[in-house]
Amino acid sequence: MLIDEQGQAGGQVWRAKDRSILSAPATPESRSGDNLRERLAASGVRQMTDTRVWQIERQGEHWVIHTLRNGAAGRLHSRAVILATGAREEAQPVRGWTTPGVIGLAGATALFKQSIRLPGRASVVAGAGPLVFFVASEIRRLGGTVAAVVTPNTRADWLARLPSMVARPDLLWRGGRWVADLMLAGVPIYWGHAVKSVSGDDQVTGVTLCRLAADGTPLPGDIGIAADSVCLGGGLAPSTEAAQLAGVAIRYRPELGGWVSEAELDGSTAREGLFLAGDGCGIRGAVAAELHGQIVARTALRHIGQASASDPALERAYRRASRFGEAMTVLSALRADPIGLATPDTIVCRCESLTRRTIEVEIESGAVSSNAVKSGQRAGMGPCGGKYCQSSVARLIALHENRALSEIAPPTPRPPIRPVPVSALAGDFDYDDLPMPKPAPL
Partner 1 sequence: MIRLVPDHSARIQRTEKVPFTFDGVALMGCAGENLAAALMQAGVLHLRNAPGDGAPRGAFCMMALCQECVVFVDGQSVESCRLTVSSGLVVKSRR
Partner 2 sequence: MSENHDIAVIGGGIMGCAAALRLASGGMAPIVLDRGDLGQGASGVNAGTLSLQIKRVRLMPYALKGHEEWARMGDAVGFRRTGGYTLAFTEREAELLTERQTLKAEAGAPIEFVTNNQILTAEPNLTRRVLAASYCREDGYANSSLTGQYYRGRLREASVPYRERCAVTSITRDTQGFVLHTGGPAIKARRILLAAGAWLKPVAAMLGVDLPVDARINTVSVTERMPPLLTTVIGHATGLLTMKQKGNGTILIGGGWQGRGTPQEGRGEVTADSLIPNLSLAQFALPELGQARVLRSWTGFEANVPDFYPLAGELPGVPDAFVLGCVRGGYTIGPYIGRLMGEFILGHSPEMPVFDPGRDFEKDAT
Ligand X SMILES: Cc1cc2nc3c(=O)[nH]c(=O)nc-3n(C[C@H](O)[C@H](O)[C@H](O)COP(=O)(O)OP(=O)(O)OC[C@H]3O[C@@H](n4cnc5c(N)ncnc54)[C@H](O)[C@@H]3O)c2cc1C
Strands, E assignment, 60-152: 62-69, 72-78, 81-83, 87-89, 102-104, 122-126, 145-151
Between residues 308 and 423, which has the closer beta carbon with respect to partner 2?
A: 423
- Cβ of residue 25: shortest distance to partner 1, in angstroms? 5
For residue 139, CA distances in Å to 41, 120, 184, 218, 226 come to 31, 9, 15, 28, 17
In whole angstroms, how close is the CB of 152 to ligand X at the nearest point?
18
Taking each helix axis from N to C end, the angle separating 155-165 and 312-333, rounded to the nearest 10 degrees, works out to 180
Binding part of the chain for partner 2, among 101-109, 166-174, 250-258, 382-390 by CB under 8 A, reads 382-390
- Interface pick for partner 2 out of 247, 254, 270, 316 (rule CB under 8 A): 247
When asked if residue 435 is in the footprint of partner 2 (CB under 8 A), the reply is: yes
Q: What does the alpha-carbon distance between residue 131 and residue 197 come to, in Å, rounded to a whole number?
A: 21
Residues 408 to 427: which contact partner 1 by CB under 8 A? 418-419, 421, 423
Selection from ligand X, partner 2, partner 1, none that 247 binds (CB < 5 to 8 A by kind) is partner 2
Chain length of the chain: 442
Q: Is 176 helix (H, G, I), strand (E, B) or coil?
A: helix
- For residue 199, the SS3 value is strand
Based on the shown chain and the rule CB under 8 A, indicate whether residue 24 belongs to the binding site for partner 1: yes
**Which residues does residue 260 pair with via DSSP β-bridges, in sequence order?**
251
The least CB distance from residue 63 to partner 2, in Å, is 12
Which residues make Cβ contacts (< 8 Å) with residue 23, sequence separation at least 6? Answer: none
Which of partner 2, ligand X, partner 1, none binds 365 (CB below 5-8 Å, type-dependent)? partner 2
Q: Exposed, middle or buried, 134 (CB in 10 Å: 0-12/13-18/19+)?
A: buried
* Residue in 299, 12, 265 with CA at minimum distance from that of residue 131: 12
Work out which of 37, 376, 399, 409 binds partner 2, going by CB under 8 A: 376
Among 85, 261, 299, 346, indicate the residue that binds ligand X (CB under 6 A). 85
Question: Looking at 382, 399, 405, 406, which residue binds partner 2 (CB under 8 A)?
Answer: 382
Partner whose binding site includes residue 308, from ligand X, partner 2, partner 1, none (CB under 5 to 8 Å by kind): none
Q: Indicate whether 74 belongs to the interface with partner 2 (CB under 8 A).
A: no
Question: Residues interacting with ligand X, by CB under 6 A?
Answer: 3-6, 11-13, 52-53, 84-87, 89, 106-107, 109-110, 236, 242, 278-279, 285-286, 289, 417-418
